[in-house]
């Protein structure tokens, strides 16, 4: 059964329990936010919910911002996660799921604390160096990891990049974000160089029959799907011998953290991350893509890393 449909039942259940209208309304809004996150992760059915995706949501909240541009407080994160945990408990208690995937997810203990799984620059280098670039699939995987760190895009956005979305001369990639809203993100000159090599020598070897049009091609010549991207990230984090729980969201938040530490203006960073909810960039002065490109080139460590 679809997650959003069960959420409506859960909200009705809360009303039946006599919860205040304010509590019910807030819970409904928090669950809508969670549902949107799940859909962008390719999760629409209740049986697809697991602890891993809830932990990724926990990371997403840890790097969200308020309308005034400050990090979302630990208290606010806790309320949102508590609502999610109440919902997953409802799923188990009403036989939608055998186990409660949110049972062991911990609430934040301190406000404004970033996830512990954020990678150091040395750890990033180890993961990026893990693929065997002498093979076609290994070089493609390197491009995937580089893009995740270089642009902070989500795995659904990475999967959805078409050849027509890439402008290597200007150093931009167009992505389809939450709510089908497009945005343009900068790509470093170094990574653009790696992509050029991939397009010339690797991608043509992966295509079987008609060109599907996607930037990233699977070993079978198709679009790279979300679960496969997740598996690839896990594979190279293991090969790099990292002890942290590394996911695609780890790359996203690592990129943002490294740019913040290097002094990147927060409003530019929010534009790059594509935040579109109440904790979004909407209250900020519009940032042009040329401004964003300049900030990316100045503050992202990727620009100063050695080539592939």
Strand-pair partners of 184: 174
Q: What is the pLDDT of residue 245?
A: 85
Q: What percent of the chain shows pLDDT beyond 90?
A: 53
- C-alpha distances (whole Å) from 54 to each of 98, 119, 147, 287 are 16, 20, 23, 31
All residues at 6 or more sequence positions from 93 whose CB lies less than 8 Å from its CB, including other chains: none
What b-and-e string marks burial along 3-33, b requiring 16 or more CB atoms within 10 Å of the CB? beebbeebbebbeeeeeeeeebeebbebbeb
Same fold: 3-93 with 121-304: no
Euclidean distance between CA atoms 170 and 24, whole angstroms: 48
Q: What is the pLDDT of residue 179?
A: 66
Position 42 confidence tier, pLDDT thresholds 50, 70, 90: confident
Q: Domain 3-93 carries which CATH code?
A: 1.10.150
Q: What average pLDDT does the structure give for the chain?
A: 84
Q: What is the pLDDT of residue 307?
A: 59
Strand-pair partners of 45: 2
Q: What is the pLDDT of residue 306?
A: 66
Q: Is pLDDT of 44 > 70?
A: yes
The more confident residue out of 90 and 112 is 90
CB of 268 within 8 A of CB of 287?
A: yes
Q: Is pLDDT of 265 > 80?
A: no
Q: Is pLDDT of 263 > 80?
A: no
Q: Is pLDDT of 283 > 60?
A: no
Q: Is pLDDT of 115 > 80?
A: no
Q: Please give the structure tokens belonging to residue 33.
A: 């936010």
Euclidean distance between CA atoms 30 and 81, whole angstroms: 9
What b-and-e string marks burial along 240-279, b requiring 16 or more CB atoms within 10 Å of the CB? bebeeebbbbbbbbbbbbbbbeeebbbbbbbbbbbbbbeb
Task: Summarize pLDDT for 231-262 with one digit per residue, the tens.
Answer: 999 999 999 999 888 989 889 888 888 887 77
Positions annotated as catalytic residues are 154, 178, 249, 252, 275, 284
Task: Summarize pLDDT for 202-238 with one digit per residue, the tens.
Answer: 999 999 889 999 999 999 999 998 889 999 999 999 9
* Dihedral angle over CA of 124, 175, 66, 45, nearest 10: -90
Q: What's the CATH fold of domain 121-304?
A: hpI Integrase; Chain A (1.10.443)
Task: Summarize pLDDT for 77-100 with one digit per residue, the tens.
Answer: 889 999 999 999 999 999 999 999
Among 153, 276, 304, 169, smallest CA distance to 216 is for: 153
Q: What percent of the chain shows pLDDT beyond 70?
A: 85
Residue whose tokens read 């293991």: 238
Helix (H) or strand (E) holding 212: none
> Where along the chain do its domains lie?
3-93, 121-304
Average pLDDT over residues 275-283: 40
Q: What is the pLDDT of residue 281?
A: 29
Task: Summarize pLDDT for 166-181 with one digit per residue, the tens.
Answer: 999 999 999 987 667 7
């Amino acid at each position: 059964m679809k997650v959003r449909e069960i959420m409506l039942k859960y909200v009705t259940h809360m009303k039946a329990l006599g919860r205040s209208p304010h509590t019910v309304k807030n819970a409904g809004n928090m669950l809508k936010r969670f549902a949107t996150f799940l859909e962008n992760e390719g999760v629409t059915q209740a049986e697809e919910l697991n602890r891993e995706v809830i932990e990724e949501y926990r990371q997403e909240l840890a790097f969200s911002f308020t309308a005034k541009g400050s990090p979302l407080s630990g208290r606010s994160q806790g309320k949102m996660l508590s609502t999610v945990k109440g919902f997953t408990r409802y799923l188990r208690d009403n036989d939608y799921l055998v186990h409660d995937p949110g049972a062991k997810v911990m609430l934040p203990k301190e406000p404004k604390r970033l996830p512990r799984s954020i990678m150091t620059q040395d750890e990033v280098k180890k993961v990026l160096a893990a693929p065997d670039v002498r093979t076609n699939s290994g070089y493609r995987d390197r491009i995937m990891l580089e893009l995740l760190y270089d642009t902070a895009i989500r795995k659904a956005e990475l999967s959805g990049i078409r050849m027509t979305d890439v402008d290597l001369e200007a150093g931009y990639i167009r992505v389809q974000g939450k709510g089908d809203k497009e945005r343009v993100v900068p790509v470093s000159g170094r990574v653009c160089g790696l992509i050029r090599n991939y397009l010339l020598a690797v991608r043509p070897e992966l295509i079987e029959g008609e060109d599907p049009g996607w930037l990233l091609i699977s070993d079978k010549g198709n679009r790279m799907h979300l679960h496969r991207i997740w598996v690839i990230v896990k594979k190279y984090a293991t090969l790099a011998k990292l002890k942290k729980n590394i996911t695609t969201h780890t790359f996203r938040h690592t990129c943002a953290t490294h740019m913040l530490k290097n002094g990147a203006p927060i409003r530019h960073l929010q534009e790059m991350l594509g935040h579109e909810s109440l904790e979004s960039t909407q209250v900020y002065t519009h940032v042009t893509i040329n401004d964003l490109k300049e900030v990316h080139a100045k503050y992202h460590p990727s620009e100063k890393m050695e080539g592939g």
